[in-house]
Amino acid sequence: MNVIFHEDFYQTYTSDPAAEPGRLESIVNVLEGRVDFLRAEPAAEADIAAVHTDTHIHHVGSYGLYDLAALAAGATVQAAMIGLEEPAFALVRPPGHHASAGRSWGFCYFNNMAVAVAKLKREERIERAFILDIDLHFGDGTVNILGSSGYTTIVNPSASRASDYLRQVEEALPSEGVDLIAVSAGFDYGKGDWGGVLAPEDYREIGRMVQEAALDCGAGCFAVLEGGYNHRVLGINCLAFLEGLGDLPW
C-alpha cells in the first residue's frame, strides 16, 4: 500500500494534541517495512481556494501554518488520486475534518478531505463519492463544505459499543452508485484513547468492509488521518485499519 507522507509532518507546529511530539513517529515506526512511503507535495492554491474562502486562507497564513496545511491537503489529493486505482493512505497533520469553508477549529486548518474529493469531482474523475468519518468527533467541516454538494454522501457513525459501531458502518457503506469511498480515519474512538470503544481488530474490520464495499461498487478508496492521541495505541490501530483496507498480511 502507498502511504503519502512528508518529514515536515513531524514538526510540532502548535501546542494542541494533534501536533504533539512523537505522534506521527508512533505511526511511522509501526508502518515501516509494511507499506511504501511516497513523498507528499503541497496542494495547489487553486484547489484550496475551491473549498475555502480567501479570508480563511489568509487567516491560516497569518498563523504561519499555510505551508504545512497545504502540504497535508496535497498529500490527501495524492492519496485520492492513487486510490482510484488501489487503496492509499495520507499520513498527515494538521487534520482537516473540522475545517469549514470559512473557519476552522479542533486542531484543523484546511479540510484535507474536501480539497481532495472536490478536486476529483471538478476534474471529472468521479461522479459520486461516499465519505465515512470514523473519528470520535463529528466532521462538521466536511459536512459544511460537501454535505449539500449533491454528489457526496457523508456518514459519521457513533456508538458506545464496538458491535453497534461496526453494524452502523456495515449498514451505511454503499454497494453501488459511487466512484469513490473515502475515509476520514480518526483513531480517537480506540480503546486507550479518548473514546475507549474500538480495538485493533475492529479497525481492521472497518478497513476490510471499506475495501469490500469499494470492490462491490467498482470504486476507488483511500483514507486520510484525522484524530488519535494516545501514542501507545495510535500506530497499532492505524496499522490494523490499513491491513483491512489494503489487504495487508497480519
> What grid cell was written down for 21?
511530539
Distance CA 107, CA 27 (A): 18
Domain count of the fold of the chain: 1
Q: Do 210 and 173 form a contact (C-beta atoms < 8 A)?
A: yes
Residues of the chain scoring pLDDT < 70:
250
Give per-residue pLDDT as tens, 38-55: 999 999 999 999 999 999
Distance CA 201, CA 140 (A): 27
Q: What is the DSSP letter of 10?
A: G
CATH number, position 227: 3.40.800.20
Helix axes of 66-83 and 54-62: crossing angle, nearest 10 degrees: 120
Distance in angstroms between the alpha carbons of the first and the last residue of the chain: 14
202: closest CA among 172, 173, 236?
A: 236
Q: What is the pLDDT of residue 250?
A: 59
Domain of residue 121 covers 2-246
Residue 132's H or E segment, with its range, is strand 129-133
Other residues' Cβ atoms within 10 Å of the Cβ of residue 119 = 23
Q: What is the pLDDT of residue 248?
A: 74
Give the type of residue at 171: E
Give the pTM. Answer: 0.97
Q: What is the pLDDT of residue 166?
A: 98
